[in-house]
């Protein structure tokens, strides 16, 4: 079964949602992060993505409170992201309960530093998180937004030993995104590919599963009740 990984973004001690690619464009929900996480666990969820939005903005880890609570008061594994720029940031995240960290392409796309993290912490603890628009990976370089070919990025980090990649394909329908996921899944069977963005229903998750994706990260569909918690629970039970 495809792994279902709800995303919980946190700012102001509340659950928020980043609208698209812009971390400054937020939708605020009146959910306490731990309460929301516990509801997800009750549905059968075993892993969540937790995003420190302030950390993302300040380019350093800022808020470890939700991470510590969710990892401490639930049995779920937490993939933590937001502002991870230095080895010390990763160590801080792991110390507060992260199971894996999300290393985003906005880490100045410093391939040497990223590769050193894979050696220090092992590939099992690092998820490469890519933002993709029109088939190109977007990242920051010298303070500017740059882009490069998706397959070129995957090729490089495959050689470095990466085992999990989260791809957020912005601006595409699920059908179009799948046409770009499928070649990657076939070419790199050793890599676990997780799809993010664009998931609006359980049918979308089924399509991703049929296309060979290993995981699905989603937030809006749950927060806006396009997928209800009850439907999520039923889906998980039926697909065990």
Q: Which residues contact 181 (CB under 8 A, 6 or more apart)?
A: 167, 169, 193, 195, 208, 211, 212, 213
Q: Taking 70 as the threshold, does the pLDDT of residue 9 lie above it?
A: yes
Q: Quick check: 189 pLDDT over 90?
A: yes
pLDDT digits 0-9 by tens, 109-144: 677 888 889 999 999 999 999 988 888 887 766 666
Expressed as residue numbers, the domain containing 12 is 3-238
Question: What does pLDDT average to over the chain?
Answer: 91
pLDDT score, position 109: 60
Please report the pLDDT score of residue 33 as a whole number: 98
pLDDT tens, residue by residue, 62-85: 999 999 999 999 999 999 998 888
Instruction: Specify the pLDDT at position 44.
Output: 98
Position 158 pLDDT exceeds 60: yes
Report the pLDDT value the prediction gives residue 232, as an integer from 0 to 100.
96
* pLDDT beyond 80 at 50: yes
User: How many domains does one find in the chain?
Assistant: 1
Q: Is the pLDDT of residue 152 over 70?
A: yes
pLDDT 10s digits, 26-45: 999 989 999 999 999 999 99
Place 209 in a pLDDT band, splitting at 50, 70 and 90.
very high
Query: Which pLDDT does position 141 carry in this prediction?
Result: 63
Share of the chain above pLDDT 70, in %: 95
Which pLDDT score is estimated for 170? 86
Out of 62-66, 101-105, 222-226, least confident range: 101-105
Domain with 29 in it: what CATH number? 3.20.20.70
């Amino acid at each position: 079964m495809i792994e279902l990984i709800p995303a919980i973004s946190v700012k102001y001690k509340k659950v928020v949602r980043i609208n698209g690619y812009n971390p400054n464009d937020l939708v605020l929900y009146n959910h306490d992060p731990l309460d929301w996480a516990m509801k997800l666990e009750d549905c059968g969820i075993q892993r969540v993505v937790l995003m420190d939005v302030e950390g993302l903005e300040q380019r350093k880890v800022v808020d470890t409170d939700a991470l510590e609570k969710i990892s401490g008061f639930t049995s779920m594994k937490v993939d933590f992201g937001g502002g991870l720029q230095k080895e010390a940031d990763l160590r801080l995240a792991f110390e507060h309960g992260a199971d894996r960290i999300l290393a985003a392409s906005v880490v100045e796309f410093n391939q040497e530093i990223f590769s050193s993290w894979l050696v220090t912490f092992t590939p099992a603890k690092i998820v490469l998180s890519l933002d993709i628009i029109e088939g190109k990976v977007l990242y920051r370089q010298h303070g500017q937004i740059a882009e490069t070919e998706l397959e070129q990025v995957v090729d490089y980090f495959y050689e470095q030993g990466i085992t999990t990649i989260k791809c957020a394909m912005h601006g595409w329908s699920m059908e179009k995104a799948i046409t770009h996921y499928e070649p990657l899944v076939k070419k790199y069977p050793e890599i676990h590919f997780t799809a993010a963005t664009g998931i609006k229903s359980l049918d979308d998750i089924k399509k991703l599963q049929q296309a060979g994706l290993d995981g699905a990260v989603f937030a809006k569909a749950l927060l806006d009740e396009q997928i209800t918690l009850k439907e999520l629970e039923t889906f998980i039970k039926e697909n065990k």
